[in-house]
Amino acid sequence: MKEIVIKADRLTKNFGDFTATNAISFEVEKGEIFGFLGANGAGKTTAMRMLCGLSIPSSGTASVAGFDVYKQTESIKQNIGYMSQKFSLYEDLTVKENIRFYAGIYGMSRKLIKEKMALVLEQLQLTDEENTLVKSLPLGWKQKLAFSVAIIHEPKIVFLDEPTGGVDPVTRREFWNLIYEASAKGITVFVTTHYMDEAEYCNRVSIMVDGKIEALDTPTNLKSTFNAVSMDEVFLQLARGAKRSAD
Amino acid sequence: MKQFIIFVKKEFYHIFRDRKSLLIIFLMPIVQIILFGFALTNEIKNSNIAVLDNAGDESSRAIIRRLDASRYFNVVQIIHAQPEIEPAFKTGNIRMVVVFQPGFRHSLLHTNHAQIQLIADASDPNTATAITNYASSIIGDYQQELYGLTAIPFMIQPEIRMLYNPQLKGTYNFVPGVMAMILILIAAMMTSVAIVREKELNTMEVLLVSPLKPLLFIISKAIPYIFLSLVNVVTILIVSYTILDVPINGNLFLLIAESLLFIITAVALGLMISTFTKTQQEAQMISLMVLLLPTLLLGGFMFPIESMPLPLQIVSNIVPSKWYFLIVKDVMIKGLGFSQVWKESLVLLGMSVFLLAISFKKFKIRLS
């Protein structure tokens, strides 16, 4: 029996006359890596913000980790992790201080923080750099650290908003290894991306065009449906019909 | 509570790692106080004057010596004839010419009526008034001495007492003013910049998604700056007490408590600014414009509010610094107690509550 952790039903967000997200419906299973694709301005970020409890939907229903996005945003926040497209660690704090701070605001105990810190530092091979200021780390390491920090409190779901922007292919591959490890531990990964090769790494992919979900399936099925050799082609076929320009 | 401690600790890391800002925070008050105390004083000292001594007798020379010896005047030029007076003002940098009539001492002793003419450069009217007053009082002193105790009959001798500031020191006025200025700058500007930095560097988004409560965020952001501002209050008080000889006549704890209240008002202002600005620079500019200028112009310590046009007098009431300035002057210089400043304190309290309510509301709106 599969367990549903994110469920959206005709979820809509209007800003005045503009419908950023138009009645999207989908379900995400526990432990799944769910790719959320779309051109700039297609409504990905708006949808994600509603699921994270940052934005109240205009209509439709949704639940995240079993909690309602209208009424139980505080409970949602306890159960999710978030990594934004822009880098979001404190540059003037050391690796250790960043980990301790983010773990601390999730209310983790001192002992637990210490254990998790050792694990994370070892996993990222940053043990020798624990007292280095984050600003002097290479971008790839910063991104991996940001991801580890986003899941330090072992959330049920982690939302990644274009996490690999500006990172070289090797580091991106390493980054995805971290995502697989998290997924193997049962953390559901909800990821938006621009890179179509990354879409291939996802268990299932949804493609948004002009605020609507135009396709939703496994990468293999999508390719056969659209008779395409790569996800890139699938995406181009769908996105060509878009009316909205990039933001 | 643990979240709070962790957050405040993080804020202090930010503050202490930013050496430049830290230096500004701690040095600015000292530099300002010393600047205002010594350089920008409104007392007029060492004015250059010229004399035209048509008498050249014992009395005229004694008066000239006294003028020159006082800290207010330097006699830099001797004029020999009436027509030289105007050119002396035009070419020299003198502020006043003292003219003695011929036979000055003779008239003084025998007709009881001697004349000295003081001609002052009134292009700066306040200075002209002040220096002629200084000169008159020096001349008056000499006259008194000359007559000794056997004074002429029927003389009214006004005895003037300058309350609270017997030596008419400008620092008594500037220290409370500088305190208002420094606190509003440090507390409001630093708080707004610190919050906006989280927005600009995008860490705000992560914090918003975290279970951290907005109220906790605001309080933990404000606490470090309230603390730093209190350190500044103490620094300013020590510097002005030891170096500038400004007394602390009232209750020190009341003074610090009132300062804390004003700091909270300033922090609330900073919070409000942070809710409608997006970049650190913007926050800084707006803080300077809406805080520093009104504090300087309408705070009451640079320009007396009573002599402003009525609309400006009314506007000055919404400037928090004005109220704090009044409180500090009352408590620190006049030595008054809380019963005399409760009204001003209430105004500040009201302002703080109002500003905090608005910024908290705006902060919440942004979340939805």
Checking if the pLDDT of B147 tops 80, the result is: no
pLDDT confidence of residue B295? 86
What distance in Å separates the CA atoms of residue A152 and residue A158, rounded to the nearest whole number?
A: 10
Q: What is the pLDDT of residues B290-335, one digit of tens each?
A: 888 888 888 887 788 888 889 988 989 999 999 999 999 899 888 8
pLDDT confidence band for A184 (50 / 70 / 90): very high
Put simply, whether B20 touches A (Cβ < 8 Å) is no
ipTM of the complex: 0.85
pLDDT confidence of residue A247? 46
Q: Which residue in chain B has the smallest CA separation from A159?
A: B209
Checking if the pLDDT of B264 tops 80, the result is: yes
Average pLDDT over every residue of A57-74: 91
Checking if the pLDDT of B89 tops 90, the result is: no
In 3-state terms chain B splits into helix, strand, coil percentages (rounded to 5) of 70, 5, 25
pLDDT confidence band for B148 (50 / 70 / 90): low
Across A161-165, B35-39, B251-255, the highest mean pLDDT is recorded for B251-255
Percent of chain A predicted with pLDDT > 90: 44
**Nearest to A77, CA basis, from B216, B209, B202:** B209
What distance in Å separates the CA atoms of residue B79 and residue B85, rounded to the nearest whole number?
A: 7
What distance in Å separates the CA atoms of residue B87 and residue A34, rounded to the nearest whole number?
A: 91
Put simply, whether A77 touches B (Cβ < 8 Å) is yes
Put simply, whether A53 touches B (Cβ < 8 Å) is yes
Mutate which of A13, A88, A91 to disrupt the B interface (most B C-beta within 10 Å)?
Answer: A88
Average pLDDT over every residue of B7-12: 92
pLDDT confidence of residue B205? 84
**How close A185 comes to chain B (CA, Å)?**
21
What residues of A are in contact with residue B16 (Cβ under 8 Å)?
none
Verify whether the Cβ–Cβ distance A78 to B211 is below 8 Å: yes
DSSP string, B74-130: EEEEEE-SGGGHHHHHHHS--SEEEEEPTTHHHHHHHTS---EEEEE-TTSHHHHHH
pLDDT confidence of residue B40? 61
pLDDT confidence band for A99 (50 / 70 / 90): very high
The dihedral sign for the CA sequence B143, B147, B151, B152: negative
pTM of the predicted model as reported, rounded to 2 decimal places = 0.79
What distance in Å separates the CA atoms of residue B186 and residue A196, rounded to the nearest whole number?
A: 49
Q: Which residue in chain A has the smallest CA separation from B210?
A: A77
